[in-house]
């Protein structure tokens, strides 16, 4: 009987151990997905980027366009600002239907020929490059960039602010491209907005070094739009016809310095906001105003650019106006780093507590 009792106790002990083991295994199964779930729920930022933004033709950099600036920006944000790539929002490519809200079908069809792409880029030699290479290495990144602008408007309205790490193709017109710009992303994004919110008033603040003639020629005669454009009047495009549609047209001279430039923003931006009372600001933040930029012809320092962006965002935040920032032009090799530093400053000042 003693042996039987011992066997009985041993049997029950083993059952208990077995059940404990099963319980522990169940606990492990529960814990592991919980950790994964926390990673999946990592908060995103309304900063829009795709690796497909990066431009190259036949695997090579080309033109005065700084094709590395997109990667430079993201590298800076991830290494210096503690932002993970998983926190950035990935856009879809803009659709043909969206493009046709602004562009003529004949123009879009013309982009199937290398010579027409070469003309927009002012690089005659590109007409000898196969169209498949130009589409994949050049047009495709800009189609994703334009898609990022359309998405950026939605995210800005949802979150109060957004930054598309591309876009701002402000020279493109309905029936042709020019000045390295193929797709009129700002007018397209505004048209998409108006389909959902037809009464929305938009202030376009264009602080690229070059006149935003494409945007003004497409949107400028609509009373829901106001445009503040501060630009070097001695460089491309010198489009007098487009100037007629700019509400606050501020041409400046070559080598305008940082102090003068920031003073103009202090004078004109509050006035534009007060008079137009916008529901959204779209900010074209070109870094081609940088003193070392070969195409801008202005003398704005790196710190001046960072301060400029801060002033525009502060004006939007102080007036509770959603704002979308686009990158527009910037051709110096430091452009990506400057933009990264500026976004870092925005996150630490004006946007602090709004993330």
Taking only the tens place, the pLDDT of each residue in 27-41 is 333 333 443 444 445
pLDDT at 353: 78
Secondary-structure percent of the chain, ordered helix, strand, coil, rounded to 5: 50, 10, 35
CATH topology of domain 44-348: 3.40.800
Summary mean pLDDT of the chain: 88
pLDDT at 20: 47
Residue of 240, 253, 239, 169 whose CA lies nearest to 204? 169
Q: What is the mean pLDDT of the segment spanning 56-82?
A: 77
- Containing H/E element for 204? strand 202-206
Residue 201 has pLDDT above 50, yes or no: yes
Q: Which residue has the higher pLDDT, 204 or 355?
A: 204
Residue 350 has pLDDT above 60, yes or no: yes
DSSP 202-249: EEEEE-SSS--HHHHHHHTTSTTEEEEEEEETTSTT--HHHHTT-SEE
Residue 238 has pLDDT above 50, yes or no: yes
261 and 255 in contact (C-beta within 8 Å)? no
Side-chain half-sphere CA neighbours of 59 within 13 A: 0
| pTM of the shown model | 0.86
Sheet holding 47-48, edge to edge: 47-48, 161-164, 323-326, 280-284, 202-206, 225-232, 248-252
Q: What CA–CA distance (Å, rounded) separates 205 from 285?
A: 8
Q: At what angle do helices 69-80 and 335-348 cross, to 10 degrees?
A: 40
Catalytic positions are 171
Paired sense of beta strands 225-232 and 202-206, if any: parallel
Q: What CA–CA distance (Å, rounded) separates 269 from 248?
A: 9
- Cβ neighbours around 101 below 10 Å, total: 18
DSSP state of 342: H
Each residue of 120-156: pLDDT tens digit? 988 898 999 999 999 999 999 999 999 999 999 999 9
Side-chain half-sphere CA neighbours of 287 within 13 A: 32
Residue of 312, 326, 344 whose CA lies nearest to 215? 326
Each residue of 263-302: pLDDT tens digit? 999 999 999 999 999 999 999 999 999 999 999 999 999 9
- Please report, for the chain, the start and end positions of each structural domain, with discontinuous segments joined by +: 1-41, 44-348
């Amino acid at each position: 009987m003693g042996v039987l009792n011992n066997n009985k106790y041993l049997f029950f002990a083993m059952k208990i151990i077995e059940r404990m083991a099963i319980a522990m295994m169940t606990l492990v199964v529960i814990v592991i997905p919980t950790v994964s779930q926390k990673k999946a729920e990592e908060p995103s930022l309304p900063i829009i980027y795709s690796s497909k933004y990066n431009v190259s033709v036949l695997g090579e950099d080309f033109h005065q366009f700084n094709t590395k600036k997109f990667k430079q920006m993201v590298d800076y944000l991830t290494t210096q600002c503690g932002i993970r790539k998983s926190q950035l929002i990935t856009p879809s490519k803009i659709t043909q239907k969206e493009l046709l809200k602004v562009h003529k079908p004949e123009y879009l069809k013309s982009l199937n020929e290398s010579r027409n792409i070469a003309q927009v880029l002012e690089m005659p030699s590109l007409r000898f490059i196969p169209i498949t290479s130009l589409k994949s290495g050049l047009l495709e990144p800009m189609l994703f960039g334009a898609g990022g602008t359309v998405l950026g408007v939605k995210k800005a309205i949802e979150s109060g602010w957004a930054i598309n790490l591309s876009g701002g193709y402000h020279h493109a017109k309905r029936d042709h491209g020019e000045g390295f710009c193929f797709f009129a992303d700002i007018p397209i994004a505004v048209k998409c907005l108006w389909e959902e919110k037809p009464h929305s008033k938009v202030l376009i603040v264009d602080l690229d070094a070059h006149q935003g003639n494409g945007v003004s020629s497409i949107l400028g005669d609509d009373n829901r739009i106001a445009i503040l454009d501060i630009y070097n009047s001695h460089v491309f495009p010198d489009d007098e016809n487009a100037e007629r549609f700019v509400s606050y047209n501020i041409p400046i001279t070559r080598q305008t310095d940082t102090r003068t430039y920031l003073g103009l923003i202090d004078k004109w931006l509050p006035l534009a906001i007060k008079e137009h009372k916008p529901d959204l600001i779209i900010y074209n933040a070109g870094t081609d105003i940088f003193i070392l930029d070969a195409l801008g012809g202005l003398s704005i320092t790196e710190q001046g650019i960072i301060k400029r962006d801060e002033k525009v965002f502060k004006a939007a935040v102080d007036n509770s106006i959603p704002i979308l920032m686009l990158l527009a032009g910037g051709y110096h090799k430091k452009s990506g780093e400057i933009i990264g530093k500026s976004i870092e400053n925005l996150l630490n000042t004006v946007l602090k507590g709004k993330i």
